[in-house]
C-alpha cells in the first residue's frame, strides 16, 4: 500500500480541547482502519506542526478522504504528502528520460 506523511496543525478548537487528544487519536486510527488504511506511526511534535502521522492507504483517493474526514471535525488542519520508499523511487528513476 502507498505510504503517506500527514502534518497536522491544531486549530483553536483543537488546542482548547487538547486534553481529549488521546481519545481523538484513537478515533482517527479506527476511522483510518475502517477505510482500509493503517497508522504506522503517530508523533506529537514541537515546531510548526503539532502532529506527524505516517499512514498507509489503498490509494490517493482513500488517503484524501481520511485527511478530509479528520480535518472536517475542526480540531486540526492537515497537509498530506505521498511518501515513496527507496525501492519505489528507484523504479520512478527508471522512467526518467
CATH of residue 46's domain is: 3.30.70.920
8 A C-beta contact, residue 29 and residue 66: no
Nearest to 79 by CA among 67, 69, 70: 67
Domain that holds residue 8: 3-93
**How far out from the chain centre does Cα 2 lie?**
12
Write out pLDDT tens, residues 33-66.
999 999 999 999 999 999 999 999 999 999 999 9
Domain count, the chain: 1
In 10 A of CB 55, how many CB atoms?
25
CA–CA separation, 76 and 51 (whole Å): 9
pTM of the model: 0.91
Set of cell numbers at residue 70: 479528520
Q: Calculate the average pLDDT of the chain.
A: 96
Q: Percentage of the chain with pLDDT > 70?
A: 100
Amino acid at each position: 500500500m502507498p505510504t503517506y506523511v500527514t502534518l497536522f496543525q491544531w486549530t483553536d478548537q483543537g488546542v482548547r480541547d487538547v486534553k481529549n487528544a488521546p481519545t481523538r487519536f484513537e478515533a482517527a486510527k479506527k476511522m483510518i482502519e475502517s477505510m482500509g488504511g493503517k497508522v504506522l506511526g503517530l508523533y506529537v511534535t514541537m515546531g510548526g506542526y503539532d502532529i506527524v502521522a505516517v499512514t498507509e492507504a489503498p490509494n490517493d483517493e482513500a488517503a484524501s478522504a481520511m485527511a478530509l474526514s479528520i480535518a472536517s471535525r475542526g480540531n486540526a488542519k492537515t497537509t498530506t504528502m505521498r511518501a515513496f520508499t527507496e525501492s519505489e523511487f528507484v523504479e520512478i528513476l527508471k522512467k526518467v528520460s
